[in-house]
Structure 1
Amino acid sequence: MTTAPPTPPDTDAVAFVAALRRLKAWSGLSYRQLERRATQAGHTLPYSTASTMLGRDRLPREQLVAAFVAACGVRADDAQAWLDARMTIACGRPPEATRTTRNRRFWQPRWALACAVVLVTALLGGASAAGAFTEDVEVEETQTSLHLPRS
């Protein structure tokens, strides 16, 4: 392990798991050795779970990433970078991270306004359909009913 460990990508789950595979190769350890080293570091990492994790392209759980990175021998500050990258992938990038500052000021208020308009329209439409805006007095004065007369 004379070279630096691979850095975690924060783009997508497939790239993240591929980087975990490179990290295992960098460590030079077997799955059983990783299990033992994780236990020594205070984590739980069954060798079969580590193998399954690296065989899939899904984002692993946070505790599993922490155990795996610690078992591979990554320092604490570098290990935090792996957890941060995992969190970024799991939560998605915030929309403003991909926009310029000028567009961000324009886009966010309009997006919030559009969402508010849709929500209010849906609420008022539902309340109107349920008859929340008609009073019983109107029905009594006009002698009308919401039900058709029986024959």
Structure 2
Amino acid sequence: MTTAPPAPPETDAAAFVAALRRLKAWSGLSYRQLERRATEAGHTLPYSTAATMLGRDRLPREELVAAFVAACGVRAEEAEAWLDARVAIACGPPAETAVPSRTVAADPDPRHREGAEDVLRSGRARRVRPRRRTFAVAAAVAIMLFGGLTATGAFADDVEVERTGTPLYLPRS
């Protein structure tokens, strides 16, 4: 271990796992030795989990990366770089702050409904109307009306009881 360990990439999960494989090769340790060194460092890293982690191209969990990097003998500052790179890949690229994503439209045209907004996407404005909210309010009102009518007995069929002459309550004997 005279050379520096490989640096973590921040491009995608496959490149990150490939860099973890290079880190294992750099350490020169077997999976069983990695398990023992992780335990000595206070982590849990079963050898089968480490082998499975390096055999896939998916982003491993943060605690596995911390245990693996510590077992490979990476110093604390460099280990933080590995964890930061993993978080950067998991969270995706930072959002653009130069262009506002939504602005309220000041449209003089009275045909457009109130509450509509212009959404800027790639320099062009697109009209968005709050349809989901309107549908949700209409559905809630319909449910309340139906529930109220059901509770008052508007849908009850009392005609059958009147025809048979059967009282609603049986007389006590």
State whether residues 17 and 59 of structure 2, in contact with CA within 8 Å, keep that contact through their aligned partners in structure 1. yes
The 3 A distance-change label for structure 1 pair 130 and 67 is closer
Q: Which runs of 5+ in 1 are unaligned?
A: 97-103, 136-151
Indicate which of 128, 136, 154 corresponds to 1:126. Answer: 136
Q: TM-score scaled to structure 1, two decimals?
A: 0.73
Q: Report the equivalent of 1:149.
A: none
Secondary structure at 1:17's aligned position in 2? helix
Q: Report the equivalent of 2:167.
A: none
Q: What amino acid does structure 2 have at the position aligned with 1:120?
A: P
Q: TM-score scaled to structure 2, two decimals?
A: 0.64
Indicate which of 114, 119, 122 corresponds to 1:114. Answer: 119
Do structure 1's residue 105 and structure 2's residue 110 form an aligned pair?
no
Q: What is the CA–CA distance in structure 1 between the aligned matches of 2:21 and 2:43, rounded to whole Å?
A: 19
Q: What is the CA–CA distance in structure 2 between the aligned matches of 1:55 and 1:43, rounded to whole Å?
A: 21
**How do 1:61-140 and structure 2 match up within 5 A?**
61-96=61-96, 104-110=97-103, 114=119, 118=128, 120-128=130-138
Cα offset for 1:122?
1.8
Q: What is the CA–CA distance in structure 2 between the aligned matches of 1:10 and 1:119, rounded to whole Å?
A: 38
Q: Report the equivalent of 1:29.
A: 29
Q: What is the CA–CA distance in structure 1 between the aligned matches of 2:92 and 2:81, rounded to whole Å?
A: 16
Structure with more helix by fraction: 1
Q: Report the equivalent of 1:16.
A: 16
Q: Report the equivalent of 1:142.
A: none
Secondary structure at 2:119's aligned position in 1? helix
Q: What amino acid does structure 2 have at the position aligned with 1:40?
A: E
Cα offset for 1:93?
1.2
Do structure 1's residue 7 and structure 2's residue 7 form an aligned pair?
yes
Q: Which moved more, 1:87-96 or 1:72-81?
A: 87-96
Q: What is the CA–CA distance in structure 2 between the aligned matches of 1:47 and 1:130, rounded to whole Å?
A: 55
Q: How many residues align?
A: 125
Which deviations, in whole Å up to 9, do the C-alpha atoms of 1:32-76 show, x marking residues without a partner?
Answer: 110110000000111111011000011101000000000000000
Q: Report the equivalent of 1:148.
A: none
The 3 A distance-change label for structure 1 pair 119 and 13 is farther
Cα offset for 1:127?
2.3
State whether residues 10 and 88 of structure 2, in contact with CA within 8 Å, keep that contact through their aligned partners in structure 1. yes
